[in-house]
Amino acid sequence: MAVDRERVAALVRELLEAIGEDPDRPGLRQTPVRVADSWAEFFAGVNQDAGAPLAHTISVSRGPAPDTLPSGAVMLRDIAFRSMCEHHLLPFRGRAHVAYLPGEEVVGLGALPRVIDILAARPQVQERLGEQVADAIATALDARGVLVVLDATHECVTMRGGRQPDASTVTIAARGVYAEPVARAELVALIGARA
């Protein structure tokens, strides 16, 4: 089900009244509609299949380049993402780093950010987001290992409560061989390495 923009707009109008504002004053007249449009984008991943971008795989041994079999992990670093914290409905944003150790199937690299986009476009917590990304990749591919590292800044930490503008949260989700800290150490080192 898509976001009910009309209902969201009505609720935002009511919220503005509840905080003592006049939703009919010039600066706020269009706010309910703007918020509804924003939320339709922010929560577009609700009820979407996060595995859909991974449905088209490429055979390693029978694919277009069977003479270039991967011998190690495939890693995509610095995937920008943004989500909405389900605890305060405040945004968090950051970088995702995703790696998997292929079995017989690989996927086009553009599929990995799409999985993250779908899962991030829901009310989320960072810990669950990383786990869901790892599960989607592990389920769709015959990967021998999956590693997802998320580094994000949360507005519920930077704007309220502790008000720590430079604090970021790092989470790690690992599957298969990368569940072992020694096996994932090289990948974690590569995340910070630059050529």
Residue 3 near residue 36 (C-beta atoms within 8 A): yes
Q: CA distances (Å), 80 to each of 48, 52, 54, 133, 189, in order?
A: 20, 20, 19, 14, 19
H or E segment and range at residue 12? helix 5-18
pLDDT on residue 124: 97
Stretch 31-47: mean pLDDT, rounded? 96
The pLDDT confidence band at residue 188, using thresholds 50, 70 and 90, is very high
pLDDT digits (tens, 9 = 90+) for 139-152: 999 899 999 999 99
> Rounded to two decimals, what is the model's pTM?
0.91
Residue 165 has pLDDT above 90, yes or no: no
8-state DSSP, 6? H
pLDDT digits (tens, 9 = 90+) for 78-113: 999 999 999 999 999 999 999 999 988 889 999 999
pLDDT on residue 63: 63
pLDDT on residue 109: 93
